[in-house]
Copies of this chain bind each other. A is one copy, B any other.
Amino acid sequence: MNGFVRIGEKPEIARLPLFREMDDAKRERVFAGSFLQVFPPQLTLFEVGQHADFLHVLVDGLVELSATSGGRDTTMRIVEPVTSFILAAVVNDLPYLMTARTLEASRILLVPAALIREVIRQDTALMQATMRELALAYRDLVRALADMKLRQSAERLGNYLLQQAAQDDAGRTIQLRAEKRLLASLLGMTPENLSRAFSALAAHGVRVEGSSISIVDSDALRAFARPDPIPV
């Protein structure tokens, strides 16, 4: 299951903001030099400190990115398909700051770092897309850090739910794709605390049934969580 990209995968990858605008021939070259690989669940793809050999594009499955500080580690991002990840390390040819682990069986496009750096230098549209992608990622982190510094746990959870509901356009019901312990780590709290945060949100329009969360009163939740007014 290891080899060049097959035809079937290309369109959805080519449609990514990162690759969308670039020259077709160059894109072809990138794909030809990359390989799509299948990984089992719970496999570590790379670890903090390792040299960044590949830009990753998750085509199918689920991946966790975690970072370490003072010995312990924390979930930084849960990557859903189709998304590229670990772009910043690749661009600057620096060691990974995060560890990546599959949560489910996943298909991942591995783009050799040297290749993508070379094509970035040659293709202005790709470079510009990379720049945009990094700037957006930066802004996401600014928000995440401000949230972490200023909001308490139930509020962070409330905002996470509102955000998920908005972007999955699932309307009012959110299906958690990962375990709750992971969500807890992503939101910077313990599983016990997450559990209590969910209880607290019951009074603010949130109903929980296993991994299915419904926002039954989104005004009430908004009033409690005070989401950031500036759109992404």
Residues of A within 8 A of B (CB): 48-49, 67-74, 76, 87-89, 91-92, 94-95, 97-98, 120-121, 124, 127-128, 130-132, 134-139, 141-151, 155, 188, 225-226, 228-230
Contact = CB atoms under 8 A, between A and B. Distances in A.
A115 to B, nearest CB: 16
Contacts of A138: 88, 134, 137-138, 141
B70 A150 contact: yes
A148 B146 CA distance: 10
Contacts of A121: 124, 128
B139 A94 contact: yes
Q: Which 7 A/B pairs are nearest by Cβ-Cβ distance? A: A67-B146, A134-B134, A141-B141, A88-B135, A69-B150, A149-B188, A69-B146
Nearest to A72: B150
B132 A230 contact: no
A217 B172 CA distance: 56
B135 A87 contact: yes
B97 A143 contact: yes
Contact of A92 (B70, B95, B132): B132
Given A92-B136, A131-B91, A138-B138, A68 B146 contact: yes
23 contacts: A49-B229, A49-B230, A67-B145, A68-B150, A69-B143, A69-B150, A69-B228, A70-B150, A70-B225, A73-B146, A88-B138, A88-B139, A91-B135, A92-B136, A120-B128, A124-B124, A127-B128, A127-B131, A131-B134, A138-B138, A138-B141, A144-B145, A148-B148
Nearest to A150: B69
Contacts of A127: 124, 127-128, 131
